[in-house]
Amino acid sequence: MATRKKETAPSEKKKTATKRTAPAAPTPRRKSARPAAPPEAEAPVAEPEVQPEVVPEEPREEPYFPRLLKRYQQEVVPYLMQKFGYKNVMQVPRIECVAINMGIGDAARDDKLQQEAVYTLSAITGQRPVLRRARRSIAGFKIRRGMVVGCSVTLRKWRMWEFLDRLIHVALPRVRDFRGISPHGFDGRGNYTLGIREQLVFPEVDYAKVSKVRGMNVTIVTTARTDAEAYELLRALGFPFRES
């Protein structure tokens, strides 16, 4: 007889079908040995800040500017524009140059006296003068053509203003019995000429280096059209004109 297989109940089949193996427990990881943290360094003690010493700034020196030129720009120009009704600043008369001439006819043949005259004008003006020679012969004065008869220097710009400043405030007040300069020294074209009898009125001249007193002529060339405009220009600059 054939043996029958034992039939399993359906409930058991389901149980066996649904039965699964449990997952293996994860193996614990080994803890890696971490290096020990270095001991915390002590924070440095903050030193008090040393403030630098405050050095007071030295006052800045203003750039040099001739005093008389500054007066011309700030005072004389507005005064002349108001007095003569100029519409433009360029119409206001101004000083172009100053020419100083010294005659040395007696030193025509003496080099020492010529050098003395050159020294005098150089000390007064700060510029080396030029020797002037005769253009023609004059028998009455015993002058031959080409002989040295004088020396002259022409000043412009700042040297001109510096010389005029010293002339007005230093040299002219030292003239003996000074009562002012003549208002009749204009030539009709706005230029003015005055004479100085002694070169020793200028403090730049050394008495020990002068053997003879000499005079000189100072000619002030302006852009004025009339003598009245030139007179007001010079008077506003401080020239001491005497009352005629």
Q: In order of start, what are the domains of the chain with their CATH numbers?
A: 67-104+152-237 (3.30.1440.10)
Decide: helix, strand or coil at residue 9.
Answer: coil
CA 134 to chain centre: 42
Q: Is 72 exposed, middle or buried (0-12, 13-18, 19+ CB in 10 A)?
A: buried
pLDDT at 166 over 70: yes
d(CA 123, CA 206): 9
pLDDT, one tens digit per residue, over 73-112 is 999 999 999 999 888 899 999 999 999 998 887 766 677 8
Residue type for position 67: R
Q: Which of 82-86, 208-212, 218-222 has the lowest mean pLDDT?
A: 208-212
Decide: helix, strand or coil at residue 186.
Answer: strand
